[in-house]
Structure 1
Amino acid sequence: MNSRRSRVALLDGLEEGGVRAYSSSHENDEHSNDREMEGLQDRVNFLKRLTGDIHEEVQSHNRMLDRMGNGMDASRGILTGTVGRFKTVFETKSGRRMATLVASFLALFLLIYYLTR
């Protein structure tokens, strides 16, 4: 008797109204899923654009850092040469006199500059 009741319950759901309600609900679910998929697609496209912009920005910064590093290497070479020249100037007696003379003129120039300002 229990099996007969379950069969009747199943057959009651197959009436025209039950089938239409099921198909209508199914169509609503499909439309809802379609809208959700479109929303997800929009988000994915946004994230792709964003990551593309970030990638371009990172590449730009890497190029700038490479140029800066090359400039620093060049200035390091120039400073090394200048320090070498100063060493040779200070190794000789006449060089020390010349350095003292240059330092005196520089100090005098700075003193006059600050007094006139």
Structure 2
Amino acid sequence: MWEHRASRSALFDDYDGLEEGGLKLSSSYSHEIKEHDNDNEMDNLKERVVFLKRLTGDIHEEVESHNRLLDRMGNGMDATRGIMSGTMDRFKMVFEKKSNRRMCTLVIAFVVSFLIIYYLIRALMHG
């Protein structure tokens, strides 16, 4: 029985030594695999960063383009507002004078009559 325990103990002692050596070898190999995986992940991360940088650059260019377009539209609207304001001031001056009011009414009646005749002729020719 003691022999059995002694041989068993020797067997496990050898097994422990193999396991230790195996762990060292496995640990070194595992470390290399982890470094390789880390390198791959770093490369993937670099690619993503480059992609995101390019994407943010494209977004920035698009925003700048839209800002320039909006600035031009704003300037155009300001110019139009100035023209409309001047036109409204002239209409006010025309309507303030009684004789000019009759002339303006006559012009408006002429324009409306012209538009009605134009649409009637157009409808008869196409209809």
Task: Tell me the equivalent position of 2:114.
Answer: 109
CA distance in 2: counterparts of 1:25 and 1:95, whole angstroms: 98
Per the alignment, residue 39 of structure 2 pairs with 34
TM-score relative to the length of structure 2:
0.78
- C-alpha offsets along residues 31-62 of structure 1, whole Å, 9 cap, x if unaligned? 01111111111111111111111111111111
Q: Which runs of 5+ in 2 are unaligned?
A: 1-12, 123-127
Within a 5 Å distance, the mapping from 1:1-117 to structure 2 comes to 12=17, 13-15=19-21, 17-117=22-122
Percent sequence identity over aligned pairs:
64
SS of the aligned residue for 2:39 comes to: helix
Post-superposition Cα deviations, 1:71-94, rounded to whole Å, max 9, x if no partner, equal: 111111100100000011111122
Report the CA distance between 1:14 and its aligned residue: 4.4
Distance in 1 separating the partners of 2:75 and 2:23: 77
- Structure 1 residue runs without a partner (length 5+): 1-7
Instruction: State how far apart, in whole Å, the 1-side matches of 2:72 and 2:107 are.
Output: 35
Distance in 2 (alpha carbons) for counterparts of 1:25 and 1:62: 54
Alignment size in residue pairs: 108
* Structure number with larger C-alpha Rg: 2
TM-score (ref. length: structure 1): 0.84
Question: What residue identity is the alignment partner of 2:118?
Answer: Y
Distance 2:59 2:86 in 1: 41
Cα separation, 1, equivalents of 2:112 and 2:25: 100
